[in-house]
Amino acid sequence: MLADKLQYFLAAARHDHIGQAADELNLSQPALSRSIQKLEEELGVQLFDRTGRGVHLNAAGKILLNRVKRASAEFEDARRELAELSNAKRQTIALGYLSTFGIRLIPDLVKGFCDSDPDVEFRLLEGPSPFLTEQLIKGEIDLCVSNQLIDPALVWRPLFNEDLHALIPPGHRLAERESIDLAELAEDMFVALKPGNGLRQTLDDLCRQAGFIPKIKFEGYEVATLRGLVGSGFGVTLAPKRQVAAQTQAVSIPIRSPHCYQVIGLSWRKGRWMSPKTVAFSEYLLSKIQTKEMREQHNRLRSAG
């Protein structure tokens, strides 16, 4: 069947290896190879460049892969829409968010929406930006509240600006100051989130704006890890004002210049189906926490398509 051949094609493309793809599919390697060859014969093109058991998508294979992924996404949306139709009253919203929002912001938003619609259920997932991006693209979550998730498959709408403070170790030369300029940390070692995280990009941009490139000593996945590293004297960093020094010895200091903040927004998959209750919650969220400035920007973006 064509569906089976396309499934086998996807597995081979995913692994770049016939043996590993065959193991995933519980097939013999010769059976998988024959299936891919038959698909190539039907299409009249070669899809892979072969090197022993290794396979690599060529230009034709990449075209087919994009089409098959799109078709798979449409089928998954249809499956979810039909599932919602069969259980129209009770619907589940899968919401992802940065871990630091799990203490107050997300619980308050979820409670407020459930109070107005008791038939909705939430499945919550917290984590760093790269993880949330992956889960959103895969369809494991419907919406995400985080700093900007940069991917052409996603839509991102700003909600509010969140101030960042300098986080420095106790006993640091600036620890007794009421405020500082970011440039005063130019010679310090920094601890930071790994590249690909929105807050890391913000740190790099702000330091560049202040006239220097940060010297990164340690990288981590969570802001809580950075707070612990700073408190233990491993370096300095920038962190959200609301929880910068929670449960650590780190010292939080406001920054005078430049204005240090990150933009928090709402993300979802571009062009993908969302249940009516998911749409309603996204509108509820935007109306509850989006600032006037952000609402105006959101309207401009929506008008632009």
Average pLDDT of the residues of the chain: 83
Distance of alpha carbon 159 from alpha carbon 267, whole angstroms: 10
Most confident of 45-54, 74-83, 169-178: 169-178
How many whole angstroms separate alpha carbon 303 and alpha carbon 305? 5
- pLDDT of 245 reads 47
Q: What are phi and psi of 5, to 5 degrees?
A: -60, -40
The CATH code for residues 163-262 is 3.40.190.10
The predicted-structure confidence for 232-284, as pLDDT tens digits, reads as follows 999 999 998 765 445 568 899 999 999 999 989 999 988 877 888 898 999 89
Q: What is the DSSP string of 150-193?
A: --TTEEEEEEEEEEEEEEE-TT-TTTT-S-EEGGGGTTSEEEEE
Average pLDDT over residues 80-100: 73
The stretches of 59-190 forming alpha helices (DSSP H) are 59-86, 105-116, 129-138
Q: Count Cβ atoms within 10 A of the Cβ of residue 10 and give its class: 0-12 exposed, 13-18 middle, 19 or more buried.
A: middle
83 — pLDDT class (breaks 50, 70, 90):
low
Q: Collapse the DSSP code of 301 into the 3-class scheme (helix H, G, I; strand E, B; otherwise coil) and give the result.
A: helix
Residue-wise pLDDT tens digits, 116-139 = 888 888 999 998 888 898 888 888
Domain spanning 85-159+264-303: CATH 3.40.190.10: yes
Quick check: helix, strand or coil at residue 284? helix
Q: Which of 51-55, 59-63, 152-156, 207-211 has the lowest mean pLDDT?
A: 51-55
Q: What is 2-83's CATH topology?
A: Arc Repressor Mutant, subunit A (1.10.10)
- 128 SS3 class: coil
- What is the predicted pLDDT for the residue at 305? 43
Residue 87 pLDDT grade (very low, low, confident, very high; cuts 50, 70, 90): low
| 3-class secondary structure, 149 | coil
Nearest to 251, CA basis, from 265, 269, 231 = 231
pLDDT value for 110:
93
Confidence of residue 66 (pLDDT cuts 50, 70, 90): confident
Task: Specify the domain boundaries for CATH 1.10.10.10 within the chain.
Answer: 2-83
% of the chain surpassing 90 pLDDT = 34
More confident residue, 292 or 184: 184
CATH 3.40.190.10 boundaries in the chain:
85-159+264-303, 163-262
pTM above 0.95, yes or no: no
